[in-house]
Structure 1
Amino acid sequence: MDHRRWEYRDTMALLHRAALQLPAAEIRPVMDLARSKGGYVVDDIINTNAFGVLLGGQDHSALYLDVSRLNHACKPNMFSRFSSATLAMEVVAYRDIAAGEELTFSYTPLNLPSEPRQSLLREWGFNCTCALCASARETAASDRRRARLQVLLEELDQPRVRTRAGVGARVDEILALCDREGLAAQVGDVYAIVADVYAAMGDLPLARRYGERAVAELTHYAGHDHERTRNAVAFLAKLGAEAGAQVDRGGKGKVS
């Protein structure tokens, strides 16, 4: 996705070549995908339908025919999960889905309030009328909950909050808000933040507990080989090494 090394015409030529190299049976379905941005047709299809994925620490665009057909909802019933090892994109249910219920996932980051969310969605050429956006009252209540969520996350950085009681109370409220807002896919990132907070406080048992929860949640929602999951695993390994060094020095740190 970093085009700075390329002239625009060179990037378009590469996209054109890539399209021509598709299997014959896939060319027409790709060319029939929605377009919303304008410009060269293959570039427009990619910009409208592709996913941003991370490979080797670099941002890439990845196009998946079946997944790109799913519509958006701000509180979706599905989430996407990319594997850098297989290059596959899975779409997984958040919950049981009734027969005949439309499958949806979010085109935008899940924690955005309504205005920036709608602004991003207009780039795809539509105004969202999902169940969350259709009710002005529910939209306003959701925005208040999401604003409160950001306040609580920011408070975790404040020294006055960094006690077991202070952090614990905010974590409980954060998790309740995530549940209310359908932000299950972001709970792993919350656990990772909390684990880092407890580690900075020197509370290794709670840092490990939340680090393990982060790994479990991120493995499920992001995938075992996602960078966020690998970072959480590396955090646990570093924590174990620090605990071992503390024991070697005769410290009293105990990791449960």
Structure 2
Amino acid sequence: MTLTAITALFATSLLTLKAASATREQCGWGLPRSPLQYLPLCLDDTAGPDPSTWAPWTHKPACVEADETPWCVFTNAAMPRGNGERRGISIVTTPALAADAFDLTRHPLAAAFDAIPPKKRFDALPYEVRDVPGKGKGAVATRRIEKGRVVLIDHVMVLATTEFPADVMHEEVQELLSRGVEQLNESESVYGLAKKGREEQGLTEVEDVLLTNSFEIAIEDQSYMWIFPDLSRLNHACKTTLAMTVWSSRDIEPGEEITITYSDTDQTYAERQKTFAQVWGFDCTCSLCTAPEQQRNASDKRRLRIHMLRERVLKRAKEGDFKRAIKATEELFQVAEEEGLTPHMGDLYEIPARLYYQVGDLERAREYTKRSLYQVEGLGVPGGKDIERVRVLKGVLSRIENEMENTKGPGEGQGEERG
């Protein structure tokens, strides 16, 4: 599963990056390189045998030395999830990022849950994990889930960089990853995600899980693999019932499997199947991928058209050709609706709102601003960045409505392009 742009629920609420100079020296420098079996402990002037010196970590950091900086595993096994559980978190990275991630130990999940309006959340999970024919384990709805309801809030348990320096051996990386999982209170929640048949590829269970169940998220322009154990139980479907932000993009009926899409919405059938086989090791058998060839071909054409229209909208807008950009935007949303991808278009609603404002069509500008606001506030789970976005959108909406009220007569102020 790859997320190039995840919502603020994960990117902000679950990982608030702040400078934490007091923990910059959590791991010392200049550790002697040693074989894997003598994996050194991360030491500095204060970290010693006394556990009180390891804060905020519950286990003494373990590291391997590289040319420029050590790479370590940091674990806080006592980190709460907001529901009484203490699954904990392990971070495999450099000391600098571990210091920046200090606030991960601050109960972020509870804050995210409390920020959700009661009418949008469930007191108990609205699904159960059970065997799904041909897919292994999956999440199946146990009650009706209305569109826009929060289905799941999960907490990252393992966070690991996607790239290690060339001078760090593969076996050392395996040791760091395995140690990070084993130090967690519910390590079986991670190991249980592993698929069988990977041993012949020389992969450990943790590597197997990372390859098949991790989300890729960038922090400070560096990619990291995130494991959300509960979220990973949601299987793939090319027409998703869950829009990757853990809220339902449409009504879900009892007994229906809850799915998310692992692929980019622009990918064709052949591209999706290749990605699934190479990266996740499965053949997709969702309703779209098993549809008749004629239906799949029609879907491919729509998805390619969506990609082309996105590029055209941005190009026309950049050129200042707002009317042609608007025409392309309207077609984009029409094709997306035909393909069932409207929930993935939320970020694009601001574009026609701006375009219509530029050509003086305040009514349509207001309509699309409201749509954009609804996607963030009405369907999503606003976190730090989205809360700011909501504030800005409400300000834009207020300005548009004020301009409409100040129009002296019918049609005045409409249809004139703005500079």
TM, length-normalised to structure 2: 0.47
* CA 93–114 in structure 1, closer or farther in 2 if over 3 Å, else same: same
Q: How does 1:176-255 map to 2 (within 5 A)?
A: 176-194=334-352, 210=368, 213-219=371-377, 223-225=381-383, 229=386
1:158 corresponding residue in structure 2: 316
Work out the CA distance in 2 between the residues paired with 1:212 and 1:75: 25
* CA 79–239 in structure 1, closer or farther in 2 if over 3 Å, else same: closer
2:213 corresponding residue in structure 1: 49
1:74 is displaced (CA, Å) by 0.5
* CA 71–234 in structure 1, closer or farther in 2 if over 3 Å, else same: same
- SS of residue paired to 2:230: helix
Work out the CA distance in 2 between the residues paired with 1:62 and 1:172: 36
1:141 is displaced (CA, Å) by 0.7
Instruction: Confirm or deny: 8 A CA contact 1:78 1:92 kept in the other structure.
Output: yes
Work out the CA distance in 1 between the residues paired with 2:321 and 2:221: 33
Work out the CA distance in 1 between the residues paired with 2:377 and 2:335: 22
- SS of residue paired to 1:103: strand
Work out the CA distance in 2 between the residues paired with 1:149 and 1:56: 30
Q: How does 1:1-256 map to 2 (within 5 A)?
A: 1-5=161-165, 7=168, 8-23=170-185, 26-35=186-195, 38=201, 39-55=203-219, 58-81=222-245, 91-122=246-277, 123-135=279-291, 136-156=293-313, 157-158=315-316, 162-164=321-323, 166-194=324-352, 210=368, 213-219=371-377, 223-225=381-383, 229=386
Identity of aligned residues (%): 29
1:162 is matched by which residue type in structure 2? D
- SS of residue paired to 2:247: strand
Q: Which has the higher contact order (CA 8 A, sep 6+)?
A: 2
1:84 corresponding residue in structure 2: none
Work out the CA distance in 1 between the residues paired with 2:311 and 2:302: 14
2:308 is matched by which residue type in structure 1? V
User: Which has more helix, going by share of residues?
Assistant: 1
Cα RMSD (Å): 3.7
Equivalent residues, number = 232
Select between 48-57 and 107-116 the one with higher mean Cα deviation: 48-57
1:163 is displaced (CA, Å) by 3.3
What are the ranges of 5 or more consecutive residues in structure 1 without an aligned counterpart? Answer: 82-90, 244-251
TM, length-normalised to structure 1: 0.72
1:29 is displaced (CA, Å) by 3.5
Work out the CA distance in 1 between the residues paired with 2:220 and 2:381: 15
* CA 238–9 in structure 1, closer or farther in 2 if over 3 Å, else same: farther
2:283 is matched by which residue type in structure 1? N
1:238 is displaced (CA, Å) by 11
